[in-house]
């Protein structure tokens, strides 16, 4: 089954880019969670287009409408359903040819002539809006347990912000700073903001697009989440990250860089402080044997360049298909990395909440 995720909680998303409404159902939430609508709206705004000059001009008012599961501002414990209107759909803008790098091709393989790919259909990045809603609810619950989730742009194209968050212990001040960066309109460090935006502008100026990477951190009362093997914390989070359209790589801790190291350098040394165990470095990203060790959880995702570019591309059109050179119409983000930051956080929050609730049951 496709668009349902979870074990203790269940997240089901639905909708198409050009339908009347898209939405999400959250099942398995505890009763009594205060639903802070201002926080949720702020989260959705972080993902929404049009609030940044570099992003697509297709304006969307992502106002979540809660249909069930909330009473007097608190969750009731029964399914929480939410819909979001598509106020600005323009399916007449969409093209008939298969857009390279898109799901147009595979949707037709899978669903045949019944595939609905106008504007991306259900494959559209637009469907991450309900995911951000669900993530915002998960964050509210995690915050009650002292857990914070925050991400930032780590690279755009060939420019990388190599801030060291794993070779050292993260102190309170650093965490506060990282949280602040995550909430900026353009969620990158001051030092790299300009350089990242320059990469995007150059891609845009060439009618092209550019990819990037996002680093997400979860800090707080996290020890003991995840299971050996199939239920590993990495398995759970990766299954969510790879649900995000355009994500093609996921690593935990130093990830791929660890593969080039010696064990004497990659192992994080342990020590005791006031009776409690810590590691001196956190190159494993807070996870050993699939289970969190209480250090910050650090993951990175790689996002490919926006598939929609305004340059001519070789592709196919028609039935039977013929070779064509075609140019995609409409406006598109030259780089979706900034808007993907809250989506990566949402996935992280949902994954950790599910693990948290599963773990709580076993105590």
Site for a second copy in 174-203 (CB under 8 A): 203
Let me know: does 335 contact 341? Beta carbons within 8 Å: no
234 is an interface residue for a second copy by CB under 8 A: yes
The smaller minimum CB distance to a second copy, of residues 180 and 289, is found at 289
* Residues paired with residue 283 on neighbouring β-strands, in sequence order: none
Shortest approach of a second copy to residue 176 CB, angstroms? 26
Let me know: does 356 contact 142? Beta carbons within 8 Å: yes
Shortest approach of a second copy to residue 173 CB, angstroms? 26
16 is an interface residue for a second copy by CB under 8 A: yes
> What span, in angstroms and rounded, lies between the C-alpha atoms of 218 and 349?
8
> What span, in angstroms and rounded, lies between the C-alpha atoms of 41 and 204?
29
Q: Is the peptide bond before 320 cis (omega within 30 degrees of 0)?
A: yes
Instruction: Give the C-alpha distances (Å, rounded to integers) separating 142 from 15, 129, 177, 218, 296.
Output: 27, 20, 20, 10, 14
Site string for a second copy, 53-92 (x = CB under 8 A): --------------xxx-x--xxxxxxxx-x---------
Shortest approach of a second copy to residue 59 CB, angstroms? 21
Q: Which of 56, 182, 292, 348 binds a second copy (CB under 8 A)?
A: 292
Stretch binding a second copy (CB under 8 A), from 11-19, 39-47, 164-172, 185-193: 11-19
Q: Which of 277, 327, 329, 331 binds a second copy (CB under 8 A)?
A: 277
Q: Which among 117, 120, 58, 119 has a CA at the least distance from the CA of 93?
A: 119
Using CB under 8 A, count the residues that bind a second copy: 154
Q: Which of 151, 302, 340, 349 binds a second copy (CB under 8 A)?
A: 302
Q: Which among 249, 20, 5, 6 has a CA at the least distance from the CA of 126?
A: 20
Shortest approach of a second copy to residue 145 CB, angstroms? 12
Does residue 273 sit in helix, strand or coil?
Answer: strand
Does residue 343 sit in helix, strand or coil?
Answer: helix
Angle of helix 37-47 versus helix 128-144 axis, rounded to 10: 140
269 is an interface residue for a second copy by CB under 8 A: yes
DSSP class of 35:
-
The smaller minimum CB distance to a second copy, of residues 71 and 331, is found at 71
Instruction: Determine whether 146 is exposed, middle or buried from the number of CB atoms within 10 Å of its CB (0-12, 13-18, 19+).
Output: exposed
Q: Which of 140, 151, 303, 352 binds a second copy (CB under 8 A)?
A: 303
93 is an interface residue for a second copy by CB under 8 A: no
> What span, in angstroms and rounded, lies between the C-alpha atoms of 170 and 176?
10
The smaller minimum CB distance to a second copy, of residues 173 and 363, is found at 363
Stretch binding a second copy (CB under 8 A), from 48-56, 113-121, 132-140, 142-150: 113-121
145-174 binders of a second copy (CB under 8 A): 155, 157-158
103 is an interface residue for a second copy by CB under 8 A: yes
């Amino acid at each position: 089954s496709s668009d349902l995720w979870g074990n203790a909680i269940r997240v089901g998303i639905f909708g198409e880019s050009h339908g009347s409404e898209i939405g999400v159902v959250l099942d398995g939430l505890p009763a009594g969670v205060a639903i802070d609508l201002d926080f949720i709206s702020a989260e959705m705004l972080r993902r929404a287009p049009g609030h940044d000059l570099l992003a697509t001009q297709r304006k969307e008012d992502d106002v979540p409408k809660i249909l069930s599961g909330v009473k007097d501002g608190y969750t009731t414990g029964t399914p929480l359903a939410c819909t979001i209107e598509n106020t600005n759909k323009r399916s007449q803008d969409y093209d008939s040819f298969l857009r390279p790098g898109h799901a147009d091709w595979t949707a037709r393989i899978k669903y045949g002539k019944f595939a609905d790919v106008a504007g991306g259909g259900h494959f559209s990045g637009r469907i991450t809006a309900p995911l951000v809603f669900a993530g915002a609810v998960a964050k509210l619950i995690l915050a009650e347990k002292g857990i914070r989730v925050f991400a930032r742009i780590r690279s755009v194209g060939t420019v990388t912000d190599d801030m060291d968050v794993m070779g050292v212990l993260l102190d309170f001040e650093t965490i506060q700073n990282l949280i602040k960066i995550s909430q900026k309109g353009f969620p990158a460090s001051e030092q790299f903001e300009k350089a990242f935006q320059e990469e995007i502008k150059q891609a845009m100026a060439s009618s092209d697009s550019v990819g990037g990477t996002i680093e997400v951190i979860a800090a707080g009362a996290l020890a003991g989440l995840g299971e050996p093997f199939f239920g590993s914390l990495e398995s759970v989070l990766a299954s969510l990250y790879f649900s995000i359209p355009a994500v093609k790589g996921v690593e935990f801790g130093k990830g791929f860089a660890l593969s080039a190291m010696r064990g004497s350098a990659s192992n994080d040394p342990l020590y005791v402080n006031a009776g409690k165990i810590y590691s001196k470095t956190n190159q494993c990203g807070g996870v050993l044997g699939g289970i969190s060790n209480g250090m910050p959880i650090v993951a990175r995702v790689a996002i490919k360049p926006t598939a929609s570019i305004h340059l001519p591309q070789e592709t196919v059109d028609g039935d039977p298909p013929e070779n064509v050179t075609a140019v995609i119409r409409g406006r598109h983000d030259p780089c979706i990395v900034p808007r993907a930051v809250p989506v990566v956080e949402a996935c992280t929050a949902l994954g950790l909440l599910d693990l948290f609730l599963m773990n709580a049951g076993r105590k």
